[in-house]
Chains A and B, each alone.
With several copies, the nearest count.
Chain A
Amino acid sequence: MLNTTRTTFKLRNVEFRNRVFVASGTFGYGDEVRNIFPYEKLGGIITKSLSLKPRAGNPPPRIVETSSGVLNSIGLANIGVEAFIHAKLPVLRTLNTSIITNIAASSVDEYCAVLERLESVNGVHAYEINVSCPNVKEGGLNFGTSATMVATITKELRRRTEKPLIVKLTPNVTHIADIARAAAHEGADAVSLINTLIGMAIDVHTRRAKLSTVTGGVSGPAIKPIALAKVFEVSKAVSIPVFGIGGIATVHDALEFLLAGASAIQVGTMNFVDPLIAVRIADGIDEYCRINNIEDVGMLVGSVNANLSNSILQTWL
């Protein structure tokens, strides 16, 4: 049994303490749990998606429990980049962990404007770009469903920053690997996936949709197998690192994502259930590596014994 395992993980010039992160929108701005959370045990925090102007978000009900999952239509409620810089960043700078700011927008210009504003301040270590938003110029077509649009966003943002740029992909597409390749080709340092799957629930008594917006996004353990397949597919398709996200609830789940090809993982919905779960998972990964004499967590990445890389397309369902 090893005494220490190397846990660090690097994107460009930024070294993250380990490979466990908390996912955007599932950990607020990172400061809500300040009095109980050991930040130094985390790879980093991905903050709630920020838009240029504050967004009130969707009317309630916004969140519904489903079988092993959660359906939400928060609508990217956020305080906007200015308030973030003034009210949140000063606190985040004092937390002993890396801060990845997630950006959402409804036009390429808005993505650029938010990133440029954040470039002008200290305290942000990297960016994650949420492309699961409707593009107002294209009649509301979701950016993340088009390789061309994702390429454009990545290209424009890449020109504007030297910091790590992570493009967060939506699973609601036919060929997620194509979208990942577009991002990689335009200089993304990593891709993260998956964002939520589109879902819906109905109250049979009132005959109304349970969410005010009718449809929303499904997350949680229910989507884990789907997320894992997408991570496997994308990690075979691109050579940049992949952040695996989707239903991670246990150390075991996190290991599955690493083995499937994720260089790092993000814990989302399960933070609601146990605000300390990301730390437990980080500790558990270390323990697994020590017990199995693995010197570097990175050695697990993509080590699943499965070479049928085209299985996803060739499956008879």
Chain B
Amino acid sequence: MLSTTAHIIGKNKISETLYILMLECPAITRSAKAGQFVMIRVNSHSIEPLLRRPFSISWIDGDYFEILLQVVGGGTRKLSEKDIGDEVEVLGPLGNSFRIDNTFETAILVAGGVGVAPFPILTKELRERGKEVQTFIGARTKSQLYTQHLVNCSVSTDDGTEGFHGTVVDNVRAYLENTEMQKLKLFACGPTPMLKALGVLVHHKKLNCEVSLETEMACGFGICQGCVVQLKDSNKGYALACKDGPNFFIDEIVL
């Protein structure tokens, strides 16, 4: 973990509430891996918001990384109002990374809403490691879809304005029913109800699945004990989402 500052060198508005921010920060881009996140201090000289906010590292290109930013409250709103040239304090890279190993040949990425954030960089790493990638993206509506750097995308929207009309899990279920594949691994990120539904599906299908959690965090680096996730194995108690996660095998944890 580093405590550093980053310059905002680019900003794209995707919809009213969705932005890409490009942050120049070689100290972080040098070592970050897919699945890791940063804690950003929205306003350095301010107590509003008091705590930093966590964001997945979405993409890395040379000295800069990107975050996909969805405005949901005061902190994300203020961050979205930053301009190119502004500086923010950043802690990172934080958390564990997605596990890419030889147990699988095809990766199925499942994203709900802004949960797509960690998948551009994951896609890149998966392909570098020679994996097949199938991507399923779900959003509330068309304007909230983000597919940059993703491959083999199948999209779904809750309101049917684009792609499959229904939830992303329904879309994945339909796909799995019609496909015979060996050595699969799912990677998922999104709202808890989506992960729960996916949990039922992968349990039923006995599939390997890793999820990236967005538990609320105060510190992001293991000192507050605020971000606990309950482990299925009751002897083990709790894990820290920020340090032991944010990526967990779905069958390890209680969602």
Give me the interface of A with B, judged by CB distance under 8 Å.
25-28, 32-33, 35-36, 48, 56-57, 59-65, 67-70, 72, 74, 77, 220-221, 249, 269, 271-276
Q: Closest approach, in angstroms, between the C-beta of A39 and any C-beta of chain B?
A: 14
Q: Which of B1-46 contact A (CB under 8 A)?
A: 1-3, 41
Residues of chain B within 8 A of A36, CB atoms compared: 1-3
B223 at the interface (CB under 8 A from A): yes
Contact (Cβ within 8 A) A62 B3: no
Residues of chain A within 8 A of B225, CB atoms compared: 25, 28, 48, 57, 62, 74, 77
Residues of chain B within 8 A of A25, CB atoms compared: 224-225
Q: Closest approach, in angstroms, between the C-beta of A4 and any C-beta of chain B?
A: 27
Contact (Cβ within 8 A) A68 B91: no
Q: Closest approach, in angstroms, between the C-beta of A274 and any C-beta of chain B?
A: 7
Residues of chain A within 8 A of B227, CB atoms compared: 60, 62-63
State which of B156-164, B173-181, B201-209, B213-221 sits at the interface with chain A. B213-221
Count how many chain B residues have C-beta atoms less than 8 Å from C-beta atoms of the other chain.
29
Residues of chain A within 8 A of B243, CB atoms compared: 32
Contact (Cβ within 8 A) A74 B230: no
Q: Contacts A63-B216, A70-B218 given: A273-B224 contact, CB under 8 Å?
A: no
Residues of chain B within 8 A of A273, CB atoms compared: 41, 50-52
Query: Measured between alpha carbons, how far is A275 from B90 in the docked complex, in Å?
Result: 11
Contact (Cβ within 8 A) A68 B223: no
Residues of chain B within 8 A of A32, CB atoms compared: 221-223, 243
Instruction: Say whether chain B's binding surface is mostly helix, strand, loop, or mixed.
Output: loop
Contact (Cβ within 8 A) B221 A33: yes
Residues of chain B within 8 A of A63, CB atoms compared: 216, 218, 224, 226-227
Q: Closest approach, in angstroms, between the C-beta of A316 and any C-beta of chain B?
A: 12
Residues of chain B within 8 A of A77, CB atoms compared: 225, 228, 238
Give me the interface of B with A, judged by CB distance under 8 Å.
1-3, 41, 47-52, 89, 91, 215-216, 218-219, 221-230, 237-238, 243
Residues of chain A within 8 A of B52, CB atoms compared: 272-273
Contact (Cβ within 8 A) A62 B50: no
Contact (Cβ within 8 A) B238 A57: yes
Query: Measured between alpha carbons, how far is A48 from B89 in the docked complex, in Å?
Result: 26
| Subset of 5 A-B contacts with CB under 8 Å | A25-B224, A32-B243, A272-B51, A272-B52, A274-B3
Contact (Cβ within 8 A) A65 B50: yes
Residues of chain A within 8 A of B91, CB atoms compared: 275
